[in-house]
């Protein structure tokens, strides 16, 4: 949970409202330099969220499938194809995906969680700071308040792997971090969009 210390009320309210919106960035990405550009228009692509919590997995895969479909493919949540522990049976999963003509799989897995401390010190500058007796002494005591901001954010790290079943290889991978994710749907949707944008930048996904 986010904590805010030594913060004027109005500034605190603004900061909390800004941080309530999760922000996703990538720590690292990789693409197979030999992989062909993916043209997924109209093709079947599975969205798979690796997690033991079934409710969380379903919500995430629904969000993944929607985002995959938004980019022209036919996104399908893995849970609609494989129930319960069936998803862990490699032979069954492979046979079914091949028989149904799936072209790719997008896999996401939470890789870790960490606490991020943000500290914004006061700015020391201007004419009042150059002299202790002639400047700062009077100014400092005249404005003796603490405009220093300290926030503690929760950061979720997720690894995303994109496999081409037609090429039978990993074609793109990335490790992302999202600050203060709130709802699963919005979190996964934002992450899926960032993955697609990054793949486009990397020249792997047709726009």
β-pairing verdict for 149-164 and 169-179: antiparallel
Provide the 3-class DSSP secondary structure of residue 101.
coil
Angle, CA of 6, 12 and 18, to the nearest 5°: 135
Per-residue confidence at 85, pLDDT binned at 50, 70, 90? Answer: confident
Query: What is the pLDDT at residue 46?
Result: 94
Per-residue confidence at 188, pLDDT binned at 50, 70, 90? Answer: confident
Per-residue confidence at 40, pLDDT binned at 50, 70, 90? Answer: confident
Q: Where are the domains of the chain?
A: 34-201
Give the CB-side neighbour count of residue 180, counting CA atoms within 13 A: 18
Per-residue confidence at 16, pLDDT binned at 50, 70, 90? Answer: very low
Region 34-201: CATH code: 3.40.50
């Amino acid at each position: 949970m986010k904590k805010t210390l030594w913060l004027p009320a109005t500034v605190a309210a603004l900061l909390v409202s800004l941080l309530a919106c999760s922000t996703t960035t990538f720590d690292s990405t990789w693409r197979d330099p030999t992989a062909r550009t993916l043209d997924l228009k109209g093709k079947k692509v599975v969205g798979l969220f690796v997690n033991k919590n079934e409710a969380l997995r379903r919500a995430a895969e629904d969000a993944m499938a929607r985002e995959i479909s938004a980019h022209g493919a036919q996104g399908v949540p893995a849970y609609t194809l494989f129930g319960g522990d069936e998803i862990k049976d490699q032979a069954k999963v492979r046979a079914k995906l091949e028989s149904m003509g799936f072209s790719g799989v997008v896999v996401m897995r939470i890789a870790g969680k960490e606490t991020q401390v943000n500290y914004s010190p006061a700015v020391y500058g201007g004419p009042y700071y150059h002299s202790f007796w002639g400047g700062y002494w009077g100014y400092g005591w005249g404005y003796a308040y603490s405009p220093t901001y300290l926030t503690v954010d929760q950061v979720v790290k997720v690894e995303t792997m994109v496999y081409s079943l037609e090429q039978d290889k990993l074609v793109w991978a990335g490790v992302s971090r999202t600050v203060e994710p709130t709802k699963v749907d919005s979190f996964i949707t934002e992450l899926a969009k960032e993955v697609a944008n990054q793949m486009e930048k990397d020249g792997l996904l047709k726009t």
